[in-house]
Amino acid sequence: MLREYPITAVYETKFGKKALSILWEFRSTGAEDTPQFWEKVVVILSAVALSRLDSLHKKYCYDSSTRRSEVGKQISSEAFLLHASVSLGSRCCPIEVLQYLLERDPNQASRRDSTHKLPLHIALGPTSWSEATRRKYKPRERPFIALLLDAYPHAAHEYLAINSNRYPLHLALTSRHFWSEGVSHLVRAAPEVLLRPDPMTKLFPFQLAAIPVGDTSVDLSTIFCLLRNQPDILGFFPLTEGKKCASRCIIENIRKGVYVAKLGRFIESFFV
């Protein structure tokens, strides 16, 4: 059935669950220790990968007559199962599945799909929307991000060409990932990106974190931690004498690890 209708692997139940999460939730005790269980996981993920790549080919207007055969050839090599699992999100894909796939083929973490995305780029995507439950889910991909960076640390340095050459840190912040939910791992892996403006908006990472995304609220802790890891970035901005004094005070407090109560209003001044 999945071979003929692979898109069913990504359909949600009325409770917001998908095939893989249902298989995992109702597995018998010790099932994950048997090869038969993981064969079922691979079958589902192969269908997810086929459905995902098929939709990507449609989106980028590839010839429909060759699309299915090209996708099938890629799936037969099981080259993009990690991409498929990450695309489901942590809500529908247990971290144990990623661990299994990486043990099976560690090179998947450094492999780009037909849109030149690494698994990390997919994990840093926007907040997912559940049509079944009619509500959004905030990104909770920290375990995914940590595991993918551990498998391929250089991923934090690799920008995404189809998205204006944005680095993973830029992608994470514009998708409203917080410091405690994965951004800290990206900064540790590629601290130099803190000094690189987002190619699309021309804003530095701490500024991106200060912009509300959709109906989400700004997380001051994320802004503070970004500045604390690179406080000298405030010196990049032309300031009035009054703002220079305030800037020096802010930088000194950030270096000391002191949370500044007026940080929010100070950040806003860089958008005026």
pLDDT tens-place string over residues 7-31: 888 888 888 789 999 999 999 988 8
pLDDT at 255 over 70: no
Report the candidate in 262, 191, 265, 271 with the shortest Cα–Cα distance to residue 231: 191
In the structure, what pLDDT confidence band is assigned to residue 157 with cuts at 50, 70 and 90?
very high
* CA gap 84, 79 in Å, rounded: 10
What is residue 166's DSSP assignment?
A: B
Give me the pLDDT at residue 272, please: 45
Which carries the bigger pLDDT value, residue 258 or residue 141?
Answer: 141
Instruction: For 74-108, give the secondary structure using H, E and C.
Output: HHHCCCCHHHHHHHCCCCCCCHHHHHHHHHHCHHH
Residue 42: in which H helix or E strand, if any? helix 35-59
Interhelix angle 64-76/35-59, rounded to 10 degrees, is 150
Condensed to tens digits (0 to 9), the pLDDT of residues 41-62 reads 999 999 998 888 766 555 555 4
DSSP lists the bridge partners of residue 160 as 166
Instruction: HSE, CB side, 13 Å, CA atoms: give it for residue 83.
Output: 25
Count of positions (residues) in the chain: 272
Contact criterion met (CB below 8 Å) for 115 and 109: no
* CA gap 38, 251 in Å, rounded: 52
Residue 69: in which H helix or E strand, if any? helix 64-76
* One-letter identity of residue 229: N
Report the candidate in 17, 13, 23, 67 with the shortest Cα–Cα distance to residue 45: 23
Residue located via tokens 């500044």: 260
In the structure, what pLDDT confidence band is assigned to residue 158 with cuts at 50, 70 and 90?
very high
Condensed to tens digits (0 to 9), the pLDDT of residues 82-106 reads 999 999 988 889 999 999 999 999 9
For CA atoms 223, 227, 233, 239, give the dihedral sign: positive
Whole-structure pTM over 0.95, yes or no?
Answer: no
Which carries the bigger pLDDT value, residue 157 or residue 258?
Answer: 157
Structure tokens given for 272: 């005026």
pLDDT at 261 over 70: no
Condensed to tens digits (0 to 9), the pLDDT of residues 210-222 reads 887 766 678 888 9
Please state, for a pLDDT cut of 90, what percent of the chain lies above it: 41
Contact criterion met (CB below 8 Å) for 18 and 92: yes
Structure tokens given for 25: 């939730």
In terms of phi and psi (left: phi > 0; alpha: psi -120 to 50; beta: otherwise), the region of 117 is beta
